[in-house]
Amino acid sequence: MSKLKKDWNLLTDKEHRIIVNKGTEYPFSGDVTSFKGSGVFVCRRCEHPLYENEDKFDSGCGWPSFDDNVTGNVKRIRDADGMRVEIVCSNCDGHLGHVFEGEQLTSKNVRHCVNSLSIRFVSSQREG
């Protein structure tokens, strides 16, 4: 379940620049770019589930890439210049990155190029 606005996580200055001000982190700088594990990636601001780890793939672009998202949890918005399509969290409208189609990188032919600072991994493995 997603958190209400009043319960959103506090963001660092870097996270705020990316998520709120629609910035972009440097390629190959994020902590989840090559991360592997069993679980789900959630929005760093509101913890809304966005991507299953099984949909993550190595595109070589320097940012985490996914070829699918949790149904209904990622919105697509055409950039003002009409060149790219921005992706945002459907719960808090936090900027995630951009989506690209037609690159033939996976059988789904879609790449969600996501800023590491926009997401956080939640493991499905039990501790103990």
Active site residues: 113
The token duo for 56 is: 């993550």
Separate counts of helices (H) and strands (E) for the chain: 1, 9
CA distance to 38, 78, 87, 116, per residue, from 19 (Å): 25, 17, 11, 10
Contact (Cβ atoms closer than 8 angstroms) between residue 47 and residue 2:
yes
